[in-house]
Amino acid sequence: DVAWAPSFGLQKSMIASCSQDKRVVIWTSDDNVSWTPIILSTFDDVVWSVSWSPTGTI
């Protein structure tokens, strides 16, 4: 699953992703060309869905 962060005045783009590898990854980009992954957490089981709150927290 992939979820774009709300863009309320943010200086960079952010995406949250999850998959069957049991990780939640936050991807950030200043230019929408190159993306930097930050592993938020590794879980004991598959993560099927991610979403952002309206204030931009996951």
Residue bearing tokens 């863009």: 7
Domain parsing of the chain, residue ranges:
2-42
**pLDDT of 58 above 70:** no
Contact 24, 16 (CB under 8 A): yes
Q: Who wins on pLDDT, 32 or 9?
A: 32
Q: What is the pLDDT of residue 8?
A: 64
CB atoms within 10 A of CB 57: 8
Q: Is 53 helix (H, G, I), strand (E, B) or coil?
A: coil
Total residue count of the chain as it appears in this document: 58
Report the distance separating Cα 9 and Cα 55, nearest Å: 11
Q: What is the pLDDT of residue 17?
A: 93
Q: What is the pLDDT of residues 12-52, one digit of tens each?
A: 788 899 999 999 999 999 887 899 999 988 899 999 999 88
